[in-house]
Amino acid sequence: MTDGAPPLSAVQLDRIAWRRRQSIRSILVAAASTAVLGVLLVVAVTGAPGWDRVRQSFLDPTIAADALPDILRGLWLNVRLLVFCAVGSLALGLVIALLRTLRGPVFFPVRALATSYTYTFRGLPLIIVIYVLTLGVPGLRLQGMPSVLVLGGLALVLTYSGYLAEVFRAGIESVHPSQVAAARSLGLTYRQAMRHVVLPQAVRRVAPPLLNDTVALQKDVGLVSLAGPIDAVRAAQISTAEHFNYTPYIVAGVLFVLLAIPLIAVTDWVTLRAARRQASR
């Protein structure tokens, strides 16, 4: 009890104790049901007729330990590619969203180009964009042609910026026009109003979907292996070909999941915080 606060009545104390007991009971029931379900799944899988063959082909610990160092080196490439592609996609997506929100007939060609961009790259399968940029563009034999890894990253940036642009645009358009009008009445230019009034609110409102798209990008960076760079997926493929065993793919998948867990946790926390802020209004 804090200083100056009125003492709790017996009814309030009983209610607090009852809620505490209910919380403990809920936790115990959830733990028990989870344990029962886990045991049933383990029994069902390990009791299958082909379990021994599946275990040898996908869960060989010796092959996993042998492939782990190469896959970890490839995963470091995925992490670096994720950072650069995420920053590039967010920056380009924001620019495209701002272009789509320009007003006035003089900006119609710009809006049309931005709209065409989002429609095109949201509709194109990512794997086709990767093939075109990593296999087709080098065939032009232009001077200063970047590496296949850079072109693969560019394919990811172009594709995901189309999705992120629509997320940003939704956030910008969710800000009421009266706020822009109020900012302009105070002497701010349109650019200053967007920078200091609209964008801070828009980004805060769409932070959860932005983070969700970043989680999706974290998985898709593995597709650059189709162009040849030795990332975690390509390293797993090479090890699989050497041992005629699919365990390296499982190792790579587990590492990708472990890499995604912190980002997913941050996404859930931001989503919950935004929901609480909205409910408190």
d(CA 184, CA 135): 49
- Those residues with Cβ within 8 angstroms of residue 33's Cβ, 6 or more apart along the chain or in another chain: none
CA separation, residue 158 to residues 2, 6, 245 (Å): 56, 60, 35
- pLDDT per position in the chain (281 positions), as tens? 455 567 777 788 888 888 888 889 999 999 999 999 999 998 888 888 888 888 888 989 999 999 999 999 999 999 999 999 999 999 999 999 999 988 888 889 999 999 999 999 999 999 999 999 999 988 888 888 888 999 999 999 999 999 999 999 999 988 888 888 888 888 888 888 888 888 888 888 888 888 889 989 999 999 999 888 889 999 999 999 998 999 999 999 999 999 999 888 888 888 788 777 767 66
- Sign of the Cα pseudo-torsion (266, 267, 268, 271, in order): positive
pLDDT of residue 152: 94
Q: CA torsion, points 149, 150, 154, 157, in degrees to nearest 10? A: 80
What are the structural domain ranges in the chain?
Answer: 61-279
pLDDT, residue 271, reads 79
Contact 279, 213 (CB under 8 A): no
Architecture of domain 61-279: Orthogonal Bundle (1.10)
User: Residue type at 130?
Assistant: I
Please state, as a whole number, how many other Cβ atoms lie within 10 Å of the Cβ of residue 12: 10
- Supply the pTM of this predicted model: 0.82
- Residue 99's alpha-carbon distances to 110, 115, 166, 248, 278, in angstroms, are 7, 9, 11, 45, 29
Q: What is the pLDDT of residue 2?
A: 52
